[in-house]
Amino acid sequence: MIEDAFPRNLHPYWPKLQEGTRSWLLEKRLMPADKVAKYADGLCYTDLMAGYYIGAPDDVLAAICDYSAWFFVWDDRHDRDVIHGRTASWRRLAVQLHAATEAPHLHLNHADPVVAGFAESVSRLYGSLSRTWNARFARHFHVVIDAYDQEFHNRITGTVPTVDEYIALRRNTFAHWIWLDLLEPAAQLELPAWVRKNESFQRAALACQDFAAWYNDLCSLPKELAGDELHNLGISLIKHEGLSLREAVAEVRRRVEGTIEEFLVAEAEVERLAIATENIGAHGKELAKALRLCVGNMRNWFSSVYWFHHESGRYAVDSWDDRATPPYVSDDETTGHPDQVGECA
C-alpha cells in the first residue's frame, strides 16, 4: 500500500545532513565516539527527516535533523532512567527542559548534554519564523515533556493505559504537533490559524502522525515486549481488550491502514482549499503554495516512516545480544546524564 501510493522522496541535502548530525552528536557529547562510528549512520535518523521535510532550506533542515536526533537521545535517556529507577534524575531533567523550552539561550552551556543539546537545536529552530511560532512550538513541547512524565509514572507503577488513554498519550509522546509545527519553517511561511485549524487540514495532519506512531508500535512491539515496556497500542489491546498477540497485531495493522485511507480523503479536500486560497488577497498564491508544500510533506511522512522502520538498525532486535538493551546505548546507571543515543519508541 505504501510502496505503490506514496513514492519515496529524499531531500538533496541528505548526505551533508548525515555528516553534520554525526558531528553534532559528538560535539554535544550526546553519543560516544565509538558508537557514532559504529551506529549513527545505520540508525538512519537523518534519512527519516530528509524524507519528510522536502523543500526546506538546508540550514532549517539541518536544525530539524539535529533536533530529531536529540529527541531520540532524550527518549532513550527517559527509558534508561525508568529501568534504573532514577526518579530524581528524570524529575530534574523534566524541570530543566521546561525551562530551556522558554529560554534556550540561557541553557546552551548546561552541564547536562541532553539539556545543552536541546537548547542549541531549539535556539536554531526559534530563529526560523516569528515569536508567535516560537511560542506555539514551546506550548506544544511543554505538553510533550508532561506526557513523558506521565509515561514515566505509568512505567514505575506498572500501569498499562487503556486503548483510548494510550492513543491520547501517544499523540503527545510522539510529539505529533511538534513535527507538524516544523512543516512551516520548512515551507518558509507561517500558516494562519484559519488554515491550521481547517478540519480537512487537521484530519490530514493527524492521519500522517497517527500512521507514524502506530506503524512504529507495530514494528517495535517485539522489542518492547522483550523490554517489559507498557506503552504500545498492541500492549494496550492485549491488556484491556483481551486480544491475543496475533489479534493485537492484526488490529494495529487495521488501524494503520485506516490512517492511510483517512489521509487520502483529507488530502483531496485540502487541495480544494488550496485552490480557493489562491484567490484570497495579494498573497493568496504564496499561501496556497506553502499549504501544498505542507500537505505534500505530510504525504512524505508515510513513505519516510515506512522505509525508516525497514532500514534503521534500531529494529534489528534479533541481532542484539540483549533484546531489551539496544547496542547503541551506553547503559550506565552511575550517572544522571549518561552519554547515549536512543529512539522514539
Q: In whole angstroms, what is the distance from residue 247 CA to residue 245 CA?
A: 5
Q: In whole angstroms, what is the distance from residue 287 CA to residue 196 CA?
A: 12
Residue type present at position 223:
K
Contact 90, 146 (CB under 8 A): no
Active-site residue among 6, 137, 152, 174? 174
Q: Is 302 in the active site?
A: no
Q: Is 118 in the active site?
A: no
Active-site residue among 136, 196, 299, 314? 314
3-state secondary structure of 322: coil
The total of other beta-carbon atoms located within 10 Å of residue 238's CB is 20
Active-site residue among 71, 118, 137, 263? 71
Cell of 123: 535556539
Active-site residue among 6, 72, 211, 302? 72
Residue 106 DSSP code? G
Q: Is 71 in the active site?
A: yes
Q: Is 174 in the active site?
A: yes
* Helix extents (H) in 126-232: 131-157, 163-173, 176-181, 183-187, 193-196, 199-226
Which helix (H) or strand (E) segment is 50 a member of?
Answer: helix 45-50
Cell of 138: 514551546
Q: Catalytic positions, please?
A: 71-72, 174, 314
